[in-house]
Amino acid sequence: MEHCRGFTYLSSGAMCQKLKDLSCRMLRDFPQVVLSPSEPYAFNVWLIRSMPILPIQDVVDTVEQVACIIRQSETLAKKLDAKITASYSHIKGEVDRVKESCQNHWEHTTDAFQTMLDILEPLLNSIGEMCTSALSDVDADTVVVLLMLKEKLKNFDFIITLVVLKNTLCCVSILNPSLRGIISISSTLQYTISNALKLLNKHMQEIDIFHRKWFSDAVARAKKLGVPVNLPVEMVTNGDGAEKPQASLEDYYREALSKKVLQYLVDEVKRVLGTEMARILRWLSLVPSYMADHNFSIRKDKVADANLNNLARPDSFYDELGCWEVKWRHASKRRILPTSVFATLKIPDIGFYPNVQSLLRVLGTIPCVRAESDVYGHYDMVLDRYQSYMKELPAEKRLSNMAFVYVNQ
């Protein structure tokens, strides 16, 4: 572990809390290590994917199931496309926006829950036609799957959870570019974190006002879809079937959903984007294209913040940075300069800057600093193969030597 600089994890269901506890222990015992978002999820969606509350996990699982079924069923995809056109044609630009938002692996993107809400009504109409039309050529097994999915979607608990997630996750969506290794944004990560926390805290302080809007939105959507607006069954009765004292529906979801999600996001942003992560991503500014475009200069206080254990020759670090600064700050605009960590490490004379080279190699090990395809080959293809293996094989049949380990050298 003394050689480790970054790690990530992805979990669902009952494993969320266990992996969260493990990650907390790793961050405590090994302060040089940073926790990064897991590919292919956007940061805000990854946070919720790892939230140790089963109802939230069920909603995320359902969204991923919807996306998977749409990709697998060409018939459903065509019907959904037509229903989207019919539903949004009266609003200029909405048809193209909604269709574009649900392309590829949209369930992993920043606006995944917004997209799910946008396609919910067209999707339910499409499923209804496929399962009831006498002219439908859908096989019996697919009909069973679609009917089970329809039951999950036509549920008020599902709808209000989508609405709350859509409105709370937008507070941290501004962090996504910073955590994808986008140089110009990562250099100001500290300010972005501060802004995200301010937004979350504002929502916490005015939760009554915000939640009332979200609840009204969810109720309106449910009524339009013909979904009963009521408490989850397990909250209405005790284990013996006796009725519990009725709480206000709006109050229940404010306490059980909105407040918990907001508090979780505040805690996780502070935990994941700690001091070490901010320091490390700030050094992305050493990439030549950024230095040339922004006249970037090195300050002594920034050098003092560096983790000197990462460096080849710590004693000469500041002098070396001065030479690196002179080399790139006034580089000719006609030159094509490296725009990423990995391109910078391929510069022929990088060996003359051993400390910079060491520091950039450390940056390359952070999972959120995305490698180019020529560094790790077809990374997306490997990730898809791994996810298919995990989903299709029961836990007892998996082989430990087939486990997927994402390591940057």
Query: Minimum mean pLDDT among 118-132, 177-191, 319-333, 339-353: which range?
Result: 177-191
Average pLDDT of the residues in 29-52: 81
pLDDT digits (tens, 9 = 90+) for 270-301: 888 777 677 776 777 788 887 777 766 666 55
Instruction: Tell me the pLDDT band of 160, cut-offs 50, 70 and 90.
Output: very high
| 34-35 and 6-7 beta bridge pairing | parallel
**How far is the C-alpha of 378 from the C-alpha of 386, rounded, in Å?**
13
Average pLDDT of the residues in 43-59: 87
**How far is the C-alpha of 261 from the C-alpha of 249, rounded, in Å?**
17
Q: Is the pLDDT of residue 186 over 60?
A: no
Write down the pLDDT at residue 373: 45
Mean pLDDT score across all residues of the chain: 80
Instruction: Tell me the pLDDT band of 378, cut-offs 50, 70 and 90.
Output: low
pLDDT digits (tens, 9 = 90+) for 79-92: 999 999 999 988 88
Instruction: Tell me the pLDDT band of 377, cut-offs 50, 70 and 90.
Output: very low
* Neighbour tally for 230: CB within 10 Å: 12
Q: Is the pLDDT of residue 326 over 50?
A: yes
Domain ranges of the chain: 43-273, 373-402
Average pLDDT of the residues in 48-71: 90
In Å, what is the CA distance from 273 to each residue of 19, 44, 47, 52, 334?
17, 12, 12, 19, 37
**For the ranges 13-27, 140-154, 328-342, the one whose mean pLDDT is highest:** 140-154
Is the model more confident about 228 or about 241? 228
Write down the pLDDT at residue 34: 76
Structure tokens at 389: 């293996």
Instruction: Indicate the angle between helix axes 189-205 and 259-272, nearest 10 degrees.
Output: 160
In Å, what is the CA distance from 228 to each residue of 2, 158, 159, 204, 347?
55, 12, 11, 28, 63
Phi and psi dihedrals of 243, rounded to 5? -75, 140
Q: Which residues contact 363 (CB under 8 A, 6 or more apart)?
A: 280, 283, 284, 341, 369
Average pLDDT of the residues in 120-134: 87
Query: Minimum mean pLDDT among 70-79, 131-140, 235-244, 394-403: which range?
Result: 235-244
Given a contact cutoff of 8 angstroms between Cβ atoms, the answer to whether 225 and 120 are in contact is yes
Question: What percent of the chain is predicted at pLDDT more than 90?
Answer: 31
Is the model more confident about 306 or about 326? 326
pLDDT digits (tens, 9 = 90+) for 383-399: 666 667 667 777 777 76
Q: Which residues contact 357 (CB under 8 A, 6 or more apart)?
A: 312, 345, 350, 351
Beta strand spans in 32-92 (E): 34-35
Q: Is the pLDDT of residue 137 over 80?
A: no
Q: Is the pLDDT of residue 226 over 90?
A: yes
Given a contact cutoff of 8 angstroms between Cβ atoms, the answer to whether 356 and 350 are in contact is yes
Write down the pLDDT at residue 406: 36
Instruction: Tell me the pLDDT band of 187, cut-offs 50, 70 and 90.
Output: low
Instruction: Tell me the pLDDT band of 210, cut-offs 50, 70 and 90.
Output: very high
Long-range CB contacts for residues 1-4, cutoff 8 Å, separation at least 24: 1/26, 1/29, 1/30, 1/33, 2/30, 2/32, 4/30, 4/32, 4/33
